[in-house]
Amino acid sequence: MIYPVTVYGDPALRKVAKPIDKDFENLQELLANMWETMYHSDGVGLAAPQVGKSLRIFIIDASPGAEEEPELKDFKKAFINPQIIETSGDEWVMNEGCLSLPEIREDVIRPDTVTIRYQDEEFNEHEETYKGYAGRIIQHEYDHLEGILFIDYLSPLKKRLLKSRLSNITKGKITPPYRIKIPGK
């Protein structure tokens, strides 16, 4: 099932998401729907708050990065209850987009490397370090669980320049090629 994607102005995007426990029902179904929603919207990552669920879950398919980083060829992963342990490495700029901010792309500075502890779909614990493209998407998706959007990192001037476009998103005046949930509707 394809979920409608929450967009800027939706309170779900500003909450700190809650962890899930092993008794959580229908995790496999939720994940399957999230994958379907992400591919339908042509995204490389999707966090549960973006489908209106304030849960600490995100999914990533970093395989489009394989052109430059061949090891990402089969990089497809679900992160349950993730916790960033550390970020490190040189900061670099990437032009980021977000399904919850349709038609907005901006340069965002983030550290290169991230060490993250998380559980997989079977609730096995992992601690891994990622850099480059995968490290970038992980940091972006993780932010969604903390109620943070990439525009929060922009300068006050850049934010001011985006104000009317953001308000158009909230009012439902932007129609991306995927289903969205207009805030308050």
Which active-site residues does the annotation give? 141
**How far apart are CB 44 and Ni ion at their closest, in Å?**
10
CB-nearest residue to Ni ion? 98
Nearest to 82 by CA among 144, 38, 136: 144
**How far apart are CB 47 and Ni ion at their closest, in Å?**
7
Q: What is the DSSP string of 110-174?
A: EEEEEEEEEE-TT--EEEEEE-HHHHHHHHHHHHHHTT--GGGGS-HHHHHHHHHHHHHHHTT--
Nearer to Ni ion, 105 or 158 (CB): 105
Say which DSSP state 38 is in.
Answer: H
**How far apart are CB 68 and Ni ion at their closest, in Å?**
21
Do residues 96 and 45 make contact, with C-beta atoms less than 8 angstroms apart?
A: no
Nearer to Ni ion, 123 or 130 (CB): 130
Those residues with Cβ within 8 angstroms of residue 183's Cβ, 6 or more apart along the chain or in another chain: 6, 7, 8, 9, 10, 11, 170
At 45, phi and psi to the nearest 5?
A: -160, 155
Nearer to Ni ion, 98 or 114 (CB): 98
Nearer to Ni ion, 50 or 119 (CB): 50
Binding stretches for Ni ion (CB under 5 A): 98
**How far apart are CB 136 and Ni ion at their closest, in Å?**
11
